[in-house]
Amino acid sequence: MEHLEGGEQQSTPIWAIFSDLMAALVGILVLILVWVIGVQLELSQSLAEEIAKRESEEQRRMALEQALEDPLTKGLVTFRDGRIGISGNVLFELNSDQLQAEGVEVLETLVTPLDAYLTQHDEMLMISGFTDDLPMHSGNRYQDNWGLSAQRALTVTRTLVEQGLPKDRVFAAAFGPHHPAVPNVDAESRAQNRRVEISTVPRGPGSASDTGSGVEN
Protein backbone atom coordinates (compact mmCIF):
# COMPACT_ATOMS: atom_id res chain seq x y z
CA MET A 1 0.00 0.00 0.00
CA GLU A 2 1.45 3.27 -1.06
CA HIS A 3 1.24 6.34 1.14
CA LEU A 4 1.07 9.85 -0.36
CA GLU A 5 3.64 12.10 1.15
CA GLY A 6 4.23 15.82 0.71
CA GLY A 7 2.25 16.18 -2.54
CA GLU A 8 -0.87 14.67 -1.03
CA GLN A 9 -3.95 16.80 -2.00
CA GLN A 10 -6.12 17.90 0.85
CA SER A 11 -9.85 18.32 0.26
CA THR A 12 -11.44 21.77 0.88
CA PRO A 13 -12.86 21.94 4.39
CA ILE A 14 -16.66 21.66 4.49
CA TRP A 15 -16.95 24.85 6.54
CA ALA A 16 -15.32 26.83 3.72
CA ILE A 17 -17.79 25.51 1.15
CA PHE A 18 -20.68 26.25 3.50
CA SER A 19 -19.36 29.78 4.03
CA ASP A 20 -19.22 30.42 0.27
CA LEU A 21 -22.77 29.12 -0.18
CA MET A 22 -24.06 31.31 2.62
CA ALA A 23 -22.34 34.35 1.15
CA ALA A 24 -23.93 33.63 -2.24
CA LEU A 25 -27.35 33.16 -0.66
CA VAL A 26 -27.03 36.40 1.29
CA GLY A 27 -26.09 38.21 -1.92
CA ILE A 28 -29.12 36.80 -3.72
CA LEU A 29 -31.41 37.72 -0.82
CA VAL A 30 -30.03 41.26 -0.81
CA LEU A 31 -30.68 41.60 -4.54
CA ILE A 32 -34.23 40.28 -4.12
CA LEU A 33 -34.82 42.66 -1.22
CA VAL A 34 -33.53 45.62 -3.23
CA TRP A 35 -35.79 44.60 -6.16
CA VAL A 36 -38.84 44.26 -3.89
CA ILE A 37 -38.19 47.65 -2.32
CA GLY A 38 -37.78 49.19 -5.78
CA VAL A 39 -41.08 47.69 -6.96
CA GLN A 40 -42.85 48.92 -3.83
CA LEU A 41 -41.46 52.43 -4.29
CA GLU A 42 -42.52 52.44 -7.94
CA LEU A 43 -46.02 51.24 -7.05
CA SER A 44 -46.27 53.83 -4.28
CA GLN A 45 -45.19 56.58 -6.68
CA SER A 46 -47.66 55.42 -9.35
CA LEU A 47 -50.45 55.32 -6.76
CA ALA A 48 -49.57 58.81 -5.52
CA GLU A 49 -49.56 60.14 -9.08
CA GLU A 50 -52.94 58.52 -9.81
CA ILE A 51 -54.43 59.95 -6.62
CA ALA A 52 -53.07 63.40 -7.47
CA LYS A 53 -54.48 63.13 -10.99
CA ARG A 54 -57.92 62.16 -9.73
CA GLU A 55 -57.87 64.94 -7.14
CA SER A 56 -56.94 67.44 -9.86
CA GLU A 57 -59.75 66.20 -12.11
CA GLU A 58 -62.22 66.41 -9.23
CA GLN A 59 -61.10 69.97 -8.45
CA ARG A 60 -61.59 70.98 -12.11
CA ARG A 61 -65.01 69.36 -12.16
CA MET A 62 -66.04 71.16 -8.98
CA ALA A 63 -64.70 74.46 -10.31
CA LEU A 64 -66.73 74.09 -13.50
CA GLU A 65 -69.85 73.06 -11.60
CA GLN A 66 -69.46 76.05 -9.30
CA ALA A 67 -69.06 78.37 -12.28
CA LEU A 68 -72.28 76.97 -13.76
CA GLU A 69 -74.27 77.24 -10.55
CA ASP A 70 -76.78 79.77 -11.93
CA PRO A 71 -77.78 77.97 -15.19
CA LEU A 72 -77.78 74.64 -13.33
CA THR A 73 -80.07 76.00 -10.63
CA LYS A 74 -82.45 77.31 -13.28
CA GLY A 75 -82.54 73.90 -14.96
CA LEU A 76 -81.22 75.27 -18.26
CA VAL A 77 -78.44 72.71 -18.52
CA THR A 78 -77.36 69.43 -16.94
CA PHE A 79 -73.93 68.57 -15.58
CA ARG A 80 -72.88 64.92 -15.43
CA ASP A 81 -69.43 63.31 -15.42
CA GLY A 82 -67.82 66.68 -16.13
CA ARG A 83 -69.96 67.33 -19.23
CA ILE A 84 -72.48 70.12 -19.71
CA GLY A 85 -75.57 68.87 -21.50
CA ILE A 86 -78.06 70.99 -23.43
CA SER A 87 -81.22 69.45 -24.86
CA GLY A 88 -81.41 69.50 -28.63
CA ASN A 89 -85.10 70.39 -28.36
CA VAL A 90 -84.12 73.60 -26.55
CA LEU A 91 -81.48 74.50 -29.10
CA PHE A 92 -82.96 73.35 -32.41
CA GLU A 93 -86.16 72.30 -34.06
CA LEU A 94 -86.30 68.71 -35.30
CA ASN A 95 -83.81 68.07 -38.15
CA SER A 96 -82.78 71.75 -38.09
CA ASP A 97 -79.36 73.33 -37.53
CA GLN A 98 -80.75 76.83 -36.84
CA LEU A 99 -80.73 77.93 -33.20
CA GLN A 100 -84.07 78.76 -31.65
CA ALA A 101 -84.43 81.95 -29.59
CA GLU A 102 -84.56 79.89 -26.40
CA GLY A 103 -81.35 78.15 -27.41
CA VAL A 104 -79.54 81.44 -27.96
CA GLU A 105 -80.62 82.61 -24.50
CA VAL A 106 -79.33 79.41 -22.89
CA LEU A 107 -75.94 79.79 -24.58
CA GLU A 108 -75.76 83.41 -23.42
CA THR A 109 -76.07 82.25 -19.80
CA LEU A 110 -73.07 79.95 -20.29
CA VAL A 111 -70.61 82.44 -21.78
CA THR A 112 -69.66 84.27 -18.58
CA PRO A 113 -69.06 81.18 -16.38
CA LEU A 114 -67.27 79.33 -19.18
CA ASP A 115 -65.05 82.31 -19.94
CA ALA A 116 -64.21 82.65 -16.24
CA TYR A 117 -63.34 78.96 -16.11
CA LEU A 118 -61.07 79.17 -19.15
CA THR A 119 -59.29 82.17 -17.63
CA GLN A 120 -58.32 80.07 -14.62
CA HIS A 121 -57.60 76.77 -16.39
CA ASP A 122 -55.33 76.03 -19.34
CA GLU A 123 -57.93 73.91 -21.12
CA MET A 124 -60.22 73.95 -24.13
CA LEU A 125 -63.93 73.36 -24.62
CA MET A 126 -65.13 70.61 -26.94
CA ILE A 127 -68.63 71.24 -28.31
CA SER A 128 -70.09 67.85 -29.30
CA GLY A 129 -73.22 67.27 -31.37
CA PHE A 130 -75.36 64.13 -30.97
CA THR A 131 -78.54 62.91 -32.69
CA ASP A 132 -80.99 60.05 -32.26
CA ASP A 133 -80.87 56.91 -34.42
CA LEU A 134 -83.65 57.82 -36.86
CA PRO A 135 -82.57 58.39 -40.49
CA MET A 136 -82.86 61.80 -42.11
CA HIS A 137 -86.19 62.68 -43.71
CA SER A 138 -86.18 62.82 -47.50
CA GLY A 139 -85.46 66.32 -48.72
CA ASN A 140 -83.30 67.23 -45.74
CA ARG A 141 -80.10 69.05 -46.65
CA TYR A 142 -78.05 66.48 -44.73
CA GLN A 143 -77.61 62.93 -45.99
CA ASP A 144 -77.18 61.46 -42.53
CA ASN A 145 -77.03 62.23 -38.82
CA TRP A 146 -73.27 62.81 -38.97
CA GLY A 147 -73.76 65.92 -41.07
CA LEU A 148 -76.57 67.25 -38.89
CA SER A 149 -74.67 66.71 -35.63
CA ALA A 150 -71.56 68.33 -37.10
CA GLN A 151 -73.41 71.45 -38.22
CA ARG A 152 -75.25 71.75 -34.91
CA ALA A 153 -71.97 71.55 -33.02
CA LEU A 154 -70.47 74.20 -35.31
CA THR A 155 -73.52 76.42 -34.89
CA VAL A 156 -73.23 76.29 -31.09
CA THR A 157 -69.46 76.80 -31.27
CA ARG A 158 -69.74 79.86 -33.52
CA THR A 159 -72.52 81.31 -31.36
CA LEU A 160 -70.44 80.96 -28.19
CA VAL A 161 -67.51 82.65 -29.93
CA GLU A 162 -69.74 85.47 -31.19
CA GLN A 163 -71.00 85.92 -27.64
CA GLY A 164 -67.50 86.30 -26.21
CA LEU A 165 -65.62 83.03 -25.81
CA PRO A 166 -62.09 83.04 -27.31
CA LYS A 167 -62.19 81.12 -30.60
CA ASP A 168 -58.82 79.49 -29.97
CA ARG A 169 -60.25 77.77 -26.88
CA VAL A 170 -63.30 76.05 -28.38
CA PHE A 171 -63.77 73.47 -31.13
CA ALA A 172 -66.58 71.33 -32.53
CA ALA A 173 -66.95 67.55 -32.73
CA ALA A 174 -69.68 65.35 -34.25
CA PHE A 175 -70.85 61.95 -33.01
CA GLY A 176 -74.09 61.54 -34.93
CA PRO A 177 -76.27 58.75 -33.49
CA HIS A 178 -73.33 57.12 -31.73
CA HIS A 179 -72.77 57.30 -27.95
CA PRO A 180 -76.44 57.81 -27.03
CA ALA A 181 -77.15 59.02 -23.50
CA VAL A 182 -79.90 56.37 -23.19
CA PRO A 183 -81.06 53.53 -25.46
CA ASN A 184 -83.19 54.72 -28.38
CA VAL A 185 -86.42 52.91 -27.57
CA ASP A 186 -89.13 55.57 -27.86
CA ALA A 187 -89.79 59.25 -28.58
CA GLU A 188 -88.79 60.35 -25.09
CA SER A 189 -85.45 58.55 -25.12
CA ARG A 190 -84.65 59.81 -28.61
CA ALA A 191 -85.35 63.36 -27.45
CA GLN A 192 -82.76 62.88 -24.70
CA ASN A 193 -80.19 61.73 -27.25
CA ARG A 194 -80.67 64.78 -29.46
CA ARG A 195 -78.32 67.01 -27.54
CA VAL A 196 -75.17 69.13 -27.49
CA GLU A 197 -72.52 68.58 -24.83
CA ILE A 198 -69.72 70.86 -23.70
CA SER A 199 -66.72 69.23 -22.07
CA THR A 200 -63.24 70.34 -21.07
CA VAL A 201 -60.12 68.81 -22.62
CA PRO A 202 -56.40 69.45 -22.02
CA ARG A 203 -54.85 72.17 -24.12
CA GLY A 204 -51.81 70.86 -25.98
CA PRO A 205 -49.97 70.58 -29.32
CA GLY A 206 -52.96 68.80 -30.86
CA SER A 207 -55.45 71.51 -29.87
CA ALA A 208 -57.81 73.18 -32.32
CA SER A 209 -55.78 76.37 -32.23
CA ASP A 210 -52.78 74.50 -33.62
CA THR A 211 -54.48 72.20 -36.10
CA GLY A 212 -56.73 74.75 -37.70
CA SER A 213 -59.97 73.10 -36.63
CA GLY A 214 -62.58 74.83 -34.52
CA VAL A 215 -64.82 77.55 -35.93
CA GLU A 216 -62.91 78.53 -39.06
CA ASN A 217 -64.25 77.78 -42.54
Look up the CATH number of the domain holding residue 144.
3.30.1330.60
Distance in angstroms (rounded) separating the CA atoms of residues 49 and 41: 12
Q: How many domains does the chain have?
A: 2
Percent of the chain with pLDDT over 70: 82
Whether 124 and 196 map to the same domain: the answer is yes
Is 5 within the bounds of a domain?
Answer: no
* pLDDT score recorded for residue 217: 38
Question: H helices within 68-175, ranges in order?
Answer: 69-73, 88-91, 101-120, 145-162
Whether 161 and 101 map to the same domain: the answer is yes
Whether 117 and 188 map to the same domain: the answer is yes
**pLDDT, tens digit, for every residue of 22-79?**
777 877 888 888 888 888 878 777 777 777 667 766 777 777 778 788 888 877 889 8
Is 4 within the bounds of a domain?
Answer: no
* pLDDT score recorded for residue 18: 67
Whether 72 and 145 map to the same domain: the answer is yes
Whether 182 and 160 map to the same domain: the answer is yes
Is 6 within the bounds of a domain?
Answer: no
**pLDDT, tens digit, for every residue of 156-187?**
999 999 999 999 999 999 999 999 999 999 99
Whether 107 and 32 map to the same domain: the answer is no
Residue type, position 59, single letter: Q
**pLDDT, tens digit, for every residue of 182-211?**
999 999 999 999 999 999 998 876 554 443
Domain residues for the domain of 41 are 14-57
Whether 50 and 151 map to the same domain: the answer is no
Whether 190 and 89 map to the same domain: the answer is yes
- 3-class secondary structure, 216: coil
